[in-house]
Structure 1
């Protein structure tokens, strides 16, 4: 469970590093703080090309956050089929999609009022 002393900025930074370490693509940060009745403050959304890459991204995020921030997710879903994995760090929720599943659910447009930051990757 997320520790109260872990700042959202530090958590987001480590999560992004974990995604980039295994070449996760199309990384967006949605800031939900100004939207009423949201379940968390931030969504981080990214994608992988296959079940294997989605699994690698998920594992990389969890290992990096655990090692650097001594923090573990409150809840994780989707590890059975690896098409859409949700990693819940309470105030920050990570969505790791396969491309076609991300396009189908299009959660970025569902949260269209959120401030979105696109993370540019160099790979």
Structure 2
């Protein structure tokens, strides 16, 4: 995928930083693995400002991670996803919070779609699995 870029991204607002931190913490609550954040703000054709990509070792864990994110976003920030797709089979659950999209994968599904390679023009931050 060819993407064009704009100037360097602006500083992240405190509101967005809080939301990103809550999502990361929620993923870690359920022991999500191989966690990446991709800052897409420099790309003109971006679907969101940020992606989170992580994986769970089973479909149960994938569902649990998604549920934890939704629960904490609702309880702590009164935010609901615009859409939440993939829960039925739980190989790839996508939570769309408008400017932040969270992708929670089963490992084989993540390997197949290679989403982080598709959006490698963004700024990728890897987080240690706790």
Alignment TM-score, normalising by the size of structure 2:
0.87
Residues 33-60 of structure 1: CA deviation (Å, up to 9, x unaligned): 0011111100000000111000100001
Q: How many residues align?
A: 118
Where in structure 1 do 4 or more consecutive aligned residues deviate above 6 Å?
A: none
Aligned pairs for 1:1-123 within 5 A = 7-122=15-130
Unpaired segments of 5 or more residues in structure 1? 1-5
Bigger CA radius of gyration: 2
CA distance in 2, matches of 1:7, 1:16: 14
Residues 53-107 of structure 1: CA deviation (Å, up to 9, x unaligned): 0010000100111111111111111011100000000000000000010011001
Alignment TM-score, normalising by the size of structure 1:
0.92
Secondary structure in 2 aligned to 1:7? helix
Q: CA RMSD in A?
A: 1.3
Residues 19-40 of structure 1: CA deviation (Å, up to 9, x unaligned): 0001000000000000111111
Unpaired segments of 5 or more residues in structure 2? 1-13
